[in-house]
Amino acid sequence: MTFLPYVVAVWLFLAGLYGIVTSRNLVHQVVCLSVVQTSTYVVLLAVGYRTNATAPVFAGIALTRPAVDPIVQALSLTDVVVGATVSALLLAIVVQVHKRTGSLDPEDLRDVNQRIPQ
Amino acid sequence: MNALQGIVLLLVAGAGTCVVVARDPLRQAILASFFGIVLAVLFFTLQAPDVALSEIVVGAVALPLMILLTLAKVRGGEK
Amino acid sequence: MTLRTRRFVFLVMAPILGAVLLWAFAGLPRFGHYRGPYGDILNAVSVPERHVTDVVTAVNFDYRGFDTLGEEFIFFAAVIGVVLILREQSDERLGHIEDFASGRAVPPTSDAVRVLGLGLVPLTVLFGIDVVVHGQLTPGGGFQGGVVLATAVLLIYLAGEYDDLHGLYQEATLERAEAFGAAAYVALGLLGLGLDGAFMKNVLPLGHTGSVWSAGAIPLINIAVAVEIGAGLVMLLTNFLHQTIVVRPDGRRSPLERVLRQGRPT
């Protein structure tokens, strides 16, 4: 039962990866990539957790109370915002791909060296 | 690990599966917003309020908004 | 390989990958038994050393401020990437501003949405500023507050017309604000380098724990980060909106698109 956070993280990773591998739509792939990223946040926060401890914010409580690890929270915090921005970059590329080729299906776009009629 | 954390973890796994299984990107955007909120509740139960705040504003607002804007551009061209 | 082959290979290899990952996680300490030591050291020394009460913000902007600088520049580069990718192409034209959805006429904004949106904008701005300024005291900080401030600007689009935001797309104010935020972060780091020999060292007066102006350079770094993230996110979203609402394809198709469209049934 105490292994559940790691199981959930591995499940999210594999489910997102399945979505990317079998997707027929580029926007769907970008959202599945963001699901894969959330599995890393779950792992980080699970590593830093301490039972019956409080959040590492000492406003109004004594300094001697046990608290969870602040370092992994700092890592996850910036990662969440930056991850969304990288997804935005990927979505901009998807918009351009649709403009140039008219298709959102990865199967249609497989051959990079497609012969362009002159 | 208490019962609340266990339930929220299972909810997160379920919501993540729903996001992947929904093939239509429009449906996926709304499910991604729900997934962001459930993830924020999970972070809250793991005593991480900073990360929960970050996940709410980004995962429930900014990311679905960008998906919707992409879909509007992509589908608006197919008239 | 075809989709079916890919799916088959994935369903064979995924359990193996999952098993290896779970075996790796089994080597960690059990969930809830965090061993430390760095987390415990930081929790013990942050409040007396830096006069902050939110240790996560102190880690982000002081103890590991250099890593946050790197993250901030990933954000900066991603915004530049989006602006470059969605720039005006030669085979597009700028139509008049028309909020359209495929196949149906968009009704004008109802009065209820307008009132609610305009009522929410000052509240959201105030909330964003509160989250930013109290970053070293309570959960919050530059990253979260910046995103909240960007949301406030987009509420204007929801409550009104794209016209109100269109000026923002043209103006260089957003770009200057974002660059200013990024440069201010580096400048504060160099201040530490100049005055005390270490980059990002906290050299400003530390103040009284629990008051808004405490923790030396951390409130200033929070404000710089919030300005950059807010301006960057507004730039991102106005670029996407500009693409949807203003930019129209010119009618000529690219050669690649003609090839693809030939092979598909209509």
Complete DSSP assignment for A46-109: HHH-BTT-B-SB-SSS-TTS-B--HHHHHHHHHHHHHHHHHHHHHHHHHHHHHHHHS---TTTT
Q: Which residues of B touch C151 (CB under 8 A)?
A: 57, 61-62
Q: Which residues of B touch A5 (CB under 8 A)?
A: 1, 5, 9
Structural domain contains residue C137: yes
The pLDDT assigned to B76 comes to 67
Structural domain contains residue C22: no
Q: Cβ contact (<8 Å) for B25 and A25?
A: yes
Q: Cβ contact (<8 Å) for C74 and A71?
A: no
Check whether A2 has a pLDDT greater than 90: no
pLDDT band of residue A116 (cuts 50, 70, 90) is very low
Map tokens 């992947």 to a residue. B20
Q: Which chain B residue's Cα is nearest to C124?
A: B57
Q: Tell me which residue of C172, C6, C201, C215 sits closest to C83, measured CA to CA.
A: C172
Structural domain contains residue C145: yes
Separation of alpha carbons A7 and C149, rounded Å:
36
The pLDDT assigned to C9 comes to 93
Question: Between B and C, how many CB-CB pairs are < 8 A?
Answer: 55
The pLDDT assigned to C223 comes to 92
The residue type at C127: F
Question: Between A and C, how many CB-CB pairs are < 8 A?
Answer: 185
Nearest neighbour of B50 by CB, restricted to C56, C100, C101: C56
The pLDDT assigned to C251 comes to 57
Q: Which residues of chain B have pLDDT under 70?
A: 76-79
Separation of alpha carbons C256 and C243, rounded Å:
21
DSSP state of C32: B
The pLDDT assigned to A117 comes to 46
Separation of alpha carbons C258 and C266, rounded Å:
13
Q: Which residues of A touch B48 (CB under 8 A)?
A: 45, 55, 68, 73, 76
Q: Which chain B residue's Cα is nearest to A36?
A: B16
Q: Which residues of B touch A87 (CB under 8 A)?
A: 63, 66
Domain count, chain C: 1
Domain range holding C240?
Answer: 54-263
Q: Cβ contact (<8 Å) for B78 and C143?
A: no
CATH tag, A4-101: 1.10.287.3510
Answer yes or no: are the C-beta atoms of C53 and A57 closer than 8 Å: yes
A62-109 pLDDT, tens digit each: 788 888 999 999 999 989 988 999 999 999 999 988 888 888 888 877
Q: Which residues of chain C have pLDDT under 70?
A: 91, 95-106, 168-171, 203, 249-266
Give the DSSP H or E segment for C178. Answer: helix C173-196
Q: Which chain B residue's Cα is nearest to C248?
A: B77
Q: Cβ contact (<8 Å) for A1 and B1?
A: yes
Return the partners of chain B (3 or more C-beta pairs < 8 Å): A, C
Separation of alpha carbons C186 and B32, rounded Å:
35
Interface test with chain B among C120, C240, C264, by most B beta carbons within 10 Å: C240
C136-184 pLDDT, tens digit each: 888 888 899 999 999 988 888 778 777 777 776 666 888 888 899 999 9
Q: Cβ contact (<8 Å) for A35 and B35?
A: yes
Structural domain contains residue C40: no
Distance from CA of A76 to the nearest CA of C (A): 10
Q: What percent of chain B has pLDDT over 90?
A: 67
Stretch A43-56: mean pLDDT: 90
Q: Which residues of A touch B11 (CB under 8 A)?
A: none
Structural domain contains residue C96: yes
Nearest neighbour of A74 by CB, restricted to C25, C59, C78: C59
Q: Cβ contact (<8 Å) for C57 and B50?
A: yes
